[in-house]
Amino acid sequence: MKRLMTSKGLFGGTTLAVLAILVLLPLVLPSATLATEIVIFAMAALACNLLLGYGGLLSFGQGLFFGAGSYLSALAMIHGGVGLVTALVIAIVAGALIATFVGMLSIRRTGIYFVMLTLAFSQTGYFLAYTLSKWTGGDNGLLDVPRPGLSLFGVDLVDLKGAHAYYVFVALIFMAVYVGARRVIDSPFGSTLVAIRENESRASAVGFDTRHFKMLAFTLSGAVTALAGALYGMLINYVPLDNIAMAMSENIVIMTVIGGTGSLLGSLLGAGTLVLMGEILSSIWPRWPLLLGVLLILIVVFLRGGVWGGVESLIGRMTRKDEA
């Protein structure tokens, strides 16, 4: 209950903070491309957080949706000649459909079985992409992914070739997704998800069809992750096989947890931390994932609330000092 109260109380504050971060990112960072990357991964982490932080479902297969979104939108643009909006809609619908399929087979299993099933299904996607190399390029990845401009009903509105223009476009989508997710969490649906996280059998005894709620959350998460995947393909004009590999699922989970689960702002912080860490450290030392491994262990042993949890408790400590 207390948790709900704080998240409600912070509602206006966190939304403003997200907005501020989105505005500051391209100004502070050396390139708009890097800022775009952070925002795209923040979207994927947010979708994962919706499941983990609110529904208590740890999906280790988010890479499947991310990769499927990149591949399918890219293929639709290359072979079908579709525009930006259609490509993104294709990714969203595909992500939702794949998530529905995976969810049907795995959502009735709880806890660690769910984690293992989602991981195994994401591996299916990986080997599918690897096997269908005629379409996906296999190990070499899918090259020459276009980034069409925004057009509606045949009228070209905005050209997105420039890094800054594309950043603004992605940031606007992120803001829309963020506000949408916020609304979902504050709705009765969101409260039910939290109830399921806290005690599934009790939620079910009260009369909620918990499987149905979890399925909905999973589908939503798949759709948003696939959207992020599609935007990423357009950002780097390329879909590497890594987009659908286990490492992608792993990274999305790491960003979510580093940022702090149960806080949507945390996802942005988590994505920023991991992307920047990779950007800075990989140029200094290619074996930087070793440090990431150490960091993960330290976070679990010493800082379990994630970055945002750490900031929150720091704020809490400071205000308590003021009162005293």
Partner 1 sequence: MPPLRPNSGCGMLNLYLFQILNGLGLGMIYFLISVGLTIIFGLLNFVNFAHGGFFMLGCYLCYALLQLTGQFWLTLLLGPLIVAALAWVMEKTLIRRIYHLPHTFHILVTVGVALILQESAIIVWGPIGKSIPIPEALQGVVIMGKFAYPKYRLFLILFSAAIGFILWLLLERTRFGALVRAGSESTEMVSLLGTNIYKLFSLTFALGVGLAGLAGVLSGPIRGAQPFMGPEVLGIAFVVVVIGGMGSFLGALVGGLLIGLVQSLMTTIWPEGASLMIYGAMAAVILLRPYGLFGRA
Smallest distance, Å, CB 292 to partner 1? 6
Both tokens of 28, joined, read 């502070």
Judged by CB under 8 A, the residue of 50, 64, 94, 115 near partner 1 is: 115
Is 280 a binder of partner 1 (CB under 8 A)?
A: no
Q: Under the criterion CB under 8 A, does residue 44 sit at the interface with partner 1?
A: no
Interacting stretch for partner 1, rule CB under 8 A, among 10-18, 100-108, 203-211, 266-274?
A: 100-108
Task: Specify which residues 151 forms β-bridges with.
Answer: 156
Nearest partner of 61 among 271, 296, 300, 252, judged by Cα: 252
- Work out how close the CB of 122 gets to partner 1 at its nearest, in angstroms, rounded to a whole number: 8
146 counts as binding partner 1 under rule CB under 8 A: no
DSSP state, residue 120: H
Is residue 52 part of the contact set for partner 1 (CB under 8 A)?
A: yes
Residue whose CB is less far from partner 1, 175 or 292: 292
- How close are the terminal C-alpha atoms of the chain, in Å? 25
Count the site residues for partner 1 by CB under 8 A. 44
Which residues between 57 and 86 bind partner 1 (CB under 8 A)? 58, 60
- In 206-226, which positions are buried (b, 16+ CB within 10 angstroms) versus exposed (e)? eebebeebbbbbbbbbbbbbb
What minimum distance in Å lies between the beta carbon of 58 and partner 1? 5
50's tokens: 């919706």
Closest CB to partner 1 among residues 143, 296: 296
Radius of gyration of the chain (CA): 19
* H or E stretch at 151: strand 150-152
Any contact of residue 289 with partner 1 (CB under 8 A)? yes
Beta strand pairing call for 150-152 and 155-158:
antiparallel
Least distance CB 260 / partner 1 (angstroms): 12
Which of residues 231 and 275 has its CB atom nearest to partner 1 in the complex?
275
Query: Which of these segments, 37-45, 119-127, 162-170, 181-189, binds partner 1 (CB under 8 A)?
Result: 119-127
Choosing from 245, 255, 269, 274, the residue that interacts with partner 1 (CB under 8 A) is 245
Using left for φ > 0, alpha for ψ between -120 and 50, and beta otherwise, residue 154 falls in left
253 binds partner 1 (CB under 8 A): yes
CA distance 177 to 224: 8
Give the Cα separation of 140 and 6 in Å (integer): 47
CB under 8 Å to 240, separation ≥6 — which residues?
A: 141
* Contact footprint for partner 1 (CB under 8 A): 52, 58, 60, 105-106, 108-109, 111-113, 115-117, 119-121, 123-124, 127-128, 130-131, 133, 245-247, 250, 253-254, 257, 261, 287, 289-290, 292-297, 299-301, 304
